[in-house]
Amino acid sequence: MTDAAPPRAAQHPIVNERHGVSWTDPYAWLRDPAYPEVQDPEIRAYLEAENAYFAAVMAREQGLIQELHTELKGRIKDDDSSVPVADGAYLYHWQFQPGAQYRTWYRAPREGGTAAVMLDETALALDKSYFNLRSLAPSPDGQLLAFATDENGSERYVIHIKDLASGVSTTDLVANTAGSVVWSADGATLFYVELNEKLRPYRVRAHRLGTDATADRTVYTEDDPAFFVSIGLTQSRRFVVVTAGSHVTREVRLIDATRPAGEPLLIAGRRDGHRYSVEHAHDRLWIRTNDRHENFRLVSAPIDAPGEASWQEEIAGDDHHYLLGVTCFRDFLVITERLDGLANLRIRDYAGEEHAIDFAEAVYTAGLGDNREFATDRLRVGFSSLTRPATVLDYHVADRRLEVLKEQEIPSGYDASRYVGRRLWAAAADGERVPISLVHARDCPVDGSGRLYLYGYGSYGMAMEPSFNSTRLSLLDRGFAVAIAHVRGGDELGHRWYREGKLERKTNSFTDFIACAEALIEGGYAAPGRIAIRGGSAGGMLMGAVTNLRPELWRCVVAEVPFVDVLNTMLDASLPLTPIEWPEWGNPLTSEEDFRRIRAYCPYENIEVKAYPAMLVTAGISDPRVTYWEPAKYVARLRELKTDRNLLLLKTNMDAGHFGASGRFDALKELAEILAFILKCFRDGDGPGEASAGG
C-alpha cells in the first residue's frame, strides 16, 4: 500500500467521425504534435507523474526487485563470449568484459595469432542513456568496418566507417538510415537504406567511399508507403538483394555486387499477396515463393531469365512442410521449415538428395546460426528446448554429425532434471486445436492451487518458439507454471495459422488465448484469478483485448509497449507504420467493414465501467513502432472507467524506444521490476485482502 495517489490525466475531448459514426476521444491530446519530439510540458508532466507513481508504489518492493535483479544477473555469465566464426582470413567473435553492459567485438587471424579489438560498444556507449548497435560489416578485404548506431531508441541509425588498421573512424558518415549495410565486392561502395520524413525505409542509396554522402547515388526508391525497403546479400555474396515489401507482398531486385553501378534486376513484379525471396548458387537463382501454395515452394531459374515464366519447381508446397527460408551454400542448400508445427532443418544437395538434421528431442527449437562462408562442409546451428539451455553446434554435413561447441552457462546453477517441458493442446471456440508450450517444476501442484504465468503474441505470422529462457526460473522456482499460448496470428502451424488470426479473423487470437487459459485451468495448473499474463507490442494488444473480454481470469496483466489504440492508429496514415499495417488489421479509412470490426475489439475503445485485474503498462518515449501515447491514453481511460482498487501502473522509459533499456544489466532491471510486480500481485491477492494501493 502507498499513500501516493494515482495520477489523473486531464480530459480534452475531441470528436472523431468516420463512416457515419461519431466517437469521443478524451485523451488524444497526449500525442505531441511535434512527435518524434516530445516537448509539450503538459504531456511530459503527466508521463513523469505516472513514473513517480510507479516508483512510489514499487518502493516497498525494492528489496524484492534487487533480489530478482541479482538472480537474473547470476544466470548470466559475466564474461560471456561467442563461438568464433570463420570468414575469409579471420575468425570473428564478441565478448562481454566483466561488468560490461555492452559487447566488445574481436577478430583473430584464421591461421593463428592474437585477437584484436574491432569495436568496443562499451566505449561507444559511454555517458549515453541508450545505445544500440545494428550492423557490423567488415569490408571484403577486411580493412574497413561499417557499423550503424542508434543513441535514443528512435531506430534512426547513423552509419560509421572505421579503418581497422589505424583504429580511426573515417569522415564517411551517413545519418537517418534503417541501419543495414552491404558492401560491394570491391569494398569501395556501401549500400544502405534511407528513412523518409515519416521514418519509413523507402530508398536504397550507394555511398562511394571518400565522396560527400549528400551526393550518394539513389539505387531504388519505393513510392508506395505501404511497402518498406530492406537490403541484404546472397550467401554467395554475388548479389545485393533489394526487397520492397508489405506484410503480404514482396518484390525483389538484385544488384551484381561486382558491378555496383549497374541497374537492379527485377525478379518478379509485385502481385498482391505474392511473397518470395531469392538466393543464388551455381549460376541459378533459388526462389522461395507462395505462388502455388501458402506454405511456399522452392523453384529455380537462370540468372539471365529470372521471371516467373522460367521458374522450375524444385520442392513442391504442401500442408505439412512450412518453408520459412532457403540458404544456398556451394555444395548444398538448407531449408529452414516447420514440419507439422515443429522446427526442422533440411539439407539438400543440388542433385535433389536430402535429409533432415536429427536433434533427438520431441519439442525444441532450432535454426541456422552465424554462417558467413559460401564454401563450407559444416553448418553453425542454434538449438534449445523448454528445459535445455541455448546450445551452439556445428553440423558436419557429410557424416551427419552434431558437434556441441557451447552450451549456455548458468553460473548460479541449473539442473534441467528439476523441470518438465511438454506440449499441450487447447480446444478453441471454433473447435480448432491450439498448441501450448508448458514448463514447470516436477513438484508443481496440479490441483488448481498453483500459480500460472501465460505469455502470448499472435500477430504478423511471428511464431513464439518453445525455447529456453533463464529468466523464467525466477517464476518456476517460486511455484509458477510457465506457458506460451501459440494462438492464431502466429505461424506456428503454417501460414494458415497466421491467416486465421488476422483481418476479419483477428478475434481468433483472443479466443484462442482464453481457450489456452481455460485448458490450463482444467488441467489443474491454476484457478481463475490465479493467472499472470504478459505480452508486448501486438502481444500487448492481445493483453488488452483478453482483459476486456475476461478480466476475472487474470490475477495481473503486464502489457509492454502495447498496441492498444488500434483504431485511431490505423486511421492515421501519417504515422510511420500505418500503411504497411493495413494488410494485417484492415484499412478503416476506406473500408466501413474494417472500421467497424477494428472498433469492436480495439482495447482502448472497449474499456468499460467494470472491475479490471492489476495491470502494469510500459511505454518508450521515442518508440516509432508503438508510439508512447497509445499506452498513455489506455491507462488514462482505464483510470477513468475501472471500478476496482487493483493496481494500475504506467512506466514510460524516457530514454528509450520500443525495446526498452539497451544495456544487458539495465534491461534485467526492467525485467526484475516486471517480475516483482507479478509476485506482489499474487502476494497481496493471496493475503487477507486485495491490493489496495489505488487505481
Q: Can you give the CATH number for the domain in which 53 is found?
A: 3.40.50.1820
- How far is it, in rounded angstroms, from Cα 97 to Cα 104? 7
Q: Are residues 106 and 210 in the same domain?
A: no
301-339 b/e with 16+ CB inside 10 Å = b?
beeeebebeebeebbebeeebbbbebbbbebbbbbbbbe
146 beta partners: 137, 161
- pLDDT for the residue 688: 38
Domain count, the chain: 5
Instruction: Report the distance separating Cα 274 and Cα 250, nearest Å.
Output: 6
- As given in the structure block, the three cell numbers for residue 224 are 508506395
Query: Could you tell me if residue 123 is inside a domain?
Result: no
Q: What is the total residue count of the chain?
A: 695
- Give dist(CA 156, CA 193) in Å, integer: 11
The ranges of the chain with pLDDT < 50 are 1, 688-694
Residue 366 in contact with residue 337, Cβ under 8 Å? no
Count other C-beta atoms under 10 Å from residue 53's C-beta. 21
The Cα 557–Cα 284 span in angstroms is 51
pLDDT of residue 534: 98
Note whether 505 and 580 are same-domain residues: no
111 domain residue, yes or no: yes
Q: Domain for residue 258, yes or no? A: yes
Grid cell digits, residue 594:
474494417
CA angle 590, 591, 592 (to 5 degrees): 120
Phi, psi of 303 (to 5 degrees): -60, -35
Query: Which structural domain, as residue segments, surrounds residue 456?
Result: 414-527
Sheet holding 342-348: strands in order across?
321-328, 333-339, 342-348, 354-356
d(CA 133, CA 125): 10
Looking at the fold, whether 551 and 576 belong to one and the same domain comes out as yes
Same domain for 556 and 672, yes or no, is: yes
Question: Quick one: pLDDT at residue 199?
Answer: 86
| Residue that the C-alpha cell 506482489 belongs to | 680
Phi and psi torsions of 497, nearest 5°: -60, -40
The cell for 692 is 489496495
Query: In terms of domains, do 255 and 364 share one?
Result: no
70 falls within a domain: yes
Q: Could you tell me if 313 and 400 lie in one domain?
A: yes
Q: What DSSP character marks residue 210?
A: T
Q: Rounded distance, CA 442 to CA 453, Å?
A: 16
Q: Which of 557, 526, 552, 365 is nearest to 440 (CA)?
A: 526
Note whether residue 693 is domain-resident. Answer: no
* 485 plus 601 within the same structural domain: no
Confirm whether 568 is domain-assigned: yes
310 and 359 share a domain?
Answer: yes
Relative to beta strand 90-95, strand 85-87 is antiparallel
In a domain, 691, yes or no: no
Of these residues, 321, 384, 658, 684, which one is catalytic?
Answer: 658
Same domain for 193 and 317?
Answer: no
Among residues 353, 384, 410, the one where a domain terminates is: 410
Residues 435 and 451 in one domain: yes
Catalytic residue, candidates 291, 623, 655, 684: 623
Neighbour order of strands in the sheet with 239-245: 228-233, 239-245, 250-256, 265-266
Q: Could you tell me which of 423, 588, 454, 431 has the C-alpha nearest to residue 511?
A: 431
CB of 137 closer than 8 Å to CB of 183: yes
Please identify, among 488, 504, 527, the residue that sits at the C-terminal boundary of a domain. Answer: 527
- DSSP character for 196? -
Q: Mark which of 527, 546, 561 sits at the end of a domain.
A: 527
Judge whether 537 counts as a catalytic residue. Answer: yes
Q: Given the residues 180, 474, 537, 662, select the one marked as catalytic.
A: 537
Residue 559 CA to residue 456 CA, distance in Å, equals: 11
Statement to judge: residues 160 and 39 lie in one domain: no
Distance CA 564, CA 566 (A): 6
| DSSP type of residue 6 | P
Q: Return the residue matching grid coordinates 499513500.
A: 3
User: Which of 2, 5, 11 has its CA nearest to residue 636?
Assistant: 11
Instruction: Check whether residue 671 and residue 559 sit in a common domain.
Output: yes
What's the confidence (pLDDT) of residue 690? 34
Residue written as grid cell 467493414: 593
In this structure, is residue 152 part of a structural domain?
Answer: yes
Cell of 112: 593463428
